[in-house]
Amino acid sequence: MSPQGHSHSRRAGSALRALSEADPALAALALWCVHRDGEATRTSGSTITYGADFEARALHEQIGLTAHHVLHVALRHSARLAAMGARLGGAFRPEMYQLAADALINEALLLADHALPRPAVTLTGLLKALRGEDVAPQTALGAWDVDRLYFALMQGEGGGKEAAKSARAYAVQQGFNSDIDPEEGPQGAEDAARAEDDSRWRQHLSRAMATGRQAGRGLGRIGHLLGDIPEPRTPWERVLRRLLTTAVTQAPQPSAHRPARRWIAGVAEATQRCAPMPGFEPGSKPMTDVPRIAVALDASGSIDDARLALFWGEVTGIARRMRAELHLMIFDEVIRHYARLDPSETRPHLPEMPRGGGTEFRPVIDAAERMRASALVILTDLEGDPGPAPRTMPVIWALPDAGDTAAPYGRLIDLSA
């Protein structure tokens, strides 16, 4: 791939030339963007369009706005917006995702001494409105990426709907307007072309940051703080799919009442040749047992509706494809609700979740063992004593935001990934 020239946009010419002096890292990244004049100033994929509103701004604001959109491209926000929309379907709120992306980028650019059109949303301002916390910009940038911030906005991070309303009110107060379009093209985490583009942009970012560090100014000076630089990772849906498929796939079981066909053929041949009879070899019994998947929802924990819908869609899809029974348990210190569900129902009506209790994992583990479940998936925050590991049944811990939490046993899936 060859770098794209700047000559396509007349409006951005002065800002792009000034950016090469002000910020070597962002200037290097701008070489790989496509710059066009258009009706509005927006980002779509690797293309930035500059509207008449851009041309009307002072040069220092043009530079900051150009840097803003170059960073959108470099961090793959347009592609990630499209991918998240494909994952969440109708539960996705694109304007909240774009709010998260703008807040992260603006915080980074202000820390890199760029000027932005004011007012502007920032990560520290958004966290203050959402969680009531005063966080240093350096700390906030290292701790948050756009996906995690999106889910925090949707969930209210413990403050519930009131916290989410405060975050939206802050965005309105700061004059937030979305400026990203979802990247066009094939959707889905397994799209090879998108993965190749992600890898290419990681290389561009690495080289650009090295250039900026050597210059000692601009984004290169603070780039090591950015937690939103996308790293190659397997989406949790694929991990869950692989684990559950392995768990419910039934292997043939030996049966002493059914001789193996190979043994029957060996006996016939030995009889014909008057040779010694081969030792008995058992065959396999028919696989009549239906695999079971047990899903336990920790009512004392917290998970937003979007991730719950996505999680439930994955589990029911696996059960439907594998023709497995699906058993739901809602629990805190005891099992509060139990139901055997139809896997074809992807949006079941969940009863009202009890709140305020503690967490005991032993009751659901014992119940899953009694029903001889092929696997137990526990949606939880893991704040409780997990007890000893079951002897034979695999346990999959699904956490809304795992952070540094490690699985006590079994496998752990981070739903924020």
Whether the CB-CB separation of 248 and 374 falls below 8 Å is answered with: yes
In a domain, 133, yes or no: yes
Pair of tokens at residue 224: 């090591």
276 and 170, same structural domain?
no
296 and 281, same structural domain?
no
182 and 305, same structural domain?
no
In a domain, 265, yes or no: yes
Strand ranges for 260-404 from DSSP E: 282-285, 292-298, 325-331, 335-341, 375-379, 395-399
In a domain, 114, yes or no: yes
More confident residue, 328 or 43: 43
Domain that holds residue 42: 13-227
* Residue that is last in its domain, among 285, 307, 324: 285
3-state SS, residue 414:
strand
In a domain, 5, yes or no: no
In a domain, 66, yes or no: yes
| pLDDT reading at 407 higher than 80 | yes
3-state SS, residue 19:
helix
Instruction: Tell me the mean pLDDT in the region 241-254.
Output: 73
Given the structure tokens 């258009």, which residue do they identify? Answer: 38
260 and 203, same structural domain?
no
Q: What is the C-alpha separation between 66 and 211, in angstroms, rounded?
A: 19
Whether the CB-CB separation of 376 and 395 falls below 8 Å is answered with: yes
Q: What average pLDDT is seen over the chain?
A: 82
Give the closest residue to 182 by CA, choosing from 75, 102, 83, 65.
Answer: 83
174 and 139, same structural domain?
yes
* Residue that is last in its domain, among 184, 208, 227: 227
Question: Residue 369 corresponds to which amino acid?
Answer: E
Residue 383: pLDDT band (50, 70, 90) is confident
In a domain, 240, yes or no: no
| pLDDT reading at 28 higher than 90 | yes
78 and 38, same structural domain?
yes
User: How would you label 154-173 residue by residue, b for 16+ Cβ within 10 Å and e otherwise?
Assistant: bbbbebeeebbebbbebbee
* Residue that is last in its domain, among 285, 304, 335: 285
Residue 181: pLDDT band (50, 70, 90) is very high
32 and 17, same structural domain?
yes
In a domain, 169, yes or no: yes
328 and 266, same structural domain?
no
Residue 306: pLDDT band (50, 70, 90) is low
Q: What is the C-alpha separation between 106 and 83, in angstroms, rounded?
A: 22
Helix 160-173 × helix 146-155 angle, to 10°: 120
270 and 297, same structural domain?
no
More confident residue, 89 or 231: 89
Instruction: Compute the half-sphere exposure of residue 185: CA atoms within 13 Å on the CB side of its CA.
Output: 17
Amino acid 242: pLDDT:
83
29 and 91, same structural domain?
yes
- Provide the percentage of residues in the chain whose pLDDT is more than 90: 35
Amino acid 51: pLDDT:
94
Amino acid 12: pLDDT:
93
406 and 390, same structural domain?
yes
| pLDDT reading at 343 higher than 80 | no
Number of domains in the chain: 3
72 and 43, same structural domain?
yes
What is the reported pTM?
0.68
In a domain, 181, yes or no: yes
